[in-house]
Chains A and B, each alone.
Chain A
Amino acid sequence: AQSVTQLGSHVSVSEGALVLLRCNYSSSVPPYLFWYVQYPNQGLQLLLKYTTGATLVKGINGFEAEFKKSETSFHLTKPSAHMSDAAEYFCAIEGIQGAQKLVFGQGTRLTINP
């Protein structure tokens, strides 16, 4: 079975500081990995995804993530936090390619301090 663990249910950073949201996965097959963002009272929006190929993936709003197979990780980063980045972030895995079944982590709430 596939699973995702997000380390830290709440991360707080200052505006302009580095954002690092951690995600580790477990999968018996090569995974597809995703990061979604959820703004208050809204649905989920895809930030970026890794399927195959380049392990450093760039997404929207200046976010990027690196797939590290040896560490079974897919951490999300942004060099400089902006107040508008405050939201809930979800890491997800599609462990059986094409199964179209996303398994989500428990989410990380990102707070930006002025």
Chain B
Amino acid sequence: DTAVSQTPKYLVTQMGNDKSIKCEQNLGHDTMYWYKQDSKKFLKIMFSYNNKELIINETVPNRFSPKSPDKAHLNLHINSLELGDSAVYFCASSKDGNEQFFGPGTRLTVL
């Protein structure tokens, strides 16, 4: 039973391309998040959505656009990829602001 799933697990692409990462949770949670973990393992929140509405939007380039088609999904679209976007991106979800459950991560490598 996968709680929070992400696809793809690995993503290798060229600079300038546009790519998407998908996230789905089957926990019935109402809030979903995207985090970025850099090469030094530092984790930082990017966005969060509650019931399909954006509630947290950290200082992230507008090349990054989250989309939540429904409560169970939060996708991350990245335009014009840059070398500095290389990182591991984690999706997470929670209910009523309680414990956040994390997905397995998507390792993005921009060449």
Chain A positions within 8 Å of B, measured between CB atoms, are: 36, 38, 41-46, 49, 88, 90, 97-104, 106-107
Given contacts A43-B4, A46-B99, contact A102 B45 (CB under 8 A): yes
A101 to B92, CA, bound (A): 11
A77 to B104, CA, bound (A): 25
- Distance between B107 CB and nearest chain A CB, rounded to angstroms: 8
A107 to B39, CA, bound (A): 12
Tell me the residues in window 65-111 of chain B with beta carbons closer than 8 Å to chain A beta carbons: 90, 92, 94, 97, 99-105
Determine whether B12 belongs to the interface, using a CB cutoff of 8 Å to chain A: no
Contact with A along B1-29 (1 / 0, CB 8 A): 00010000000000000000000000000
Interface size counted on chain B using CB atoms at 8 A: 24
Q: Which of A99, A100, A107 is in CB contact (< 8 Å) with B41?
A: A107
Residue of B nearest to A38 (CB): B41
Residue of A nearest to B9 (CB): A41
Most central of A36, A45, A99, A100 by chain B CB within 10 Å: A100
Residue of A nearest to B103 (CB): A43
Contact with A along B34-76 (1 / 0, CB 8 A): 0000001111110010100001100000000000000000000
B90 in contact with A43 (CB, 8 Å): yes
- Distance between A30 CB and nearest chain B CB, rounded to angstroms: 15
Given contacts A100-B31, A100-B56, A100-B94, contact A42 B43 (CB under 8 A): no
A49 in contact with B99 (CB, 8 Å): yes
A7 to B57, CA, bound (A): 29
In the bound complex, residues from chain B placing their C-beta under 8 Å from that of A103 are 45
Q: Which of A44, A100, A101 is in CB contact (< 8 Å) with B102?
A: A44
In the bound complex, residues from chain A placing their C-beta under 8 Å from that of B31 are 100
B43 in contact with A100 (CB, 8 Å): no
A106 in contact with B55 (CB, 8 Å): no
B55 in contact with A44 (CB, 8 Å): no
In the bound complex, residues from chain B placing their C-beta under 8 Å from that of A49 are 99
10 interchain pairs, CB-CB under 8 A: A38-B41, A41-B105, A43-B4, A43-B90, A45-B102, A98-B97, A100-B97, A101-B45, A101-B48, A102-B100
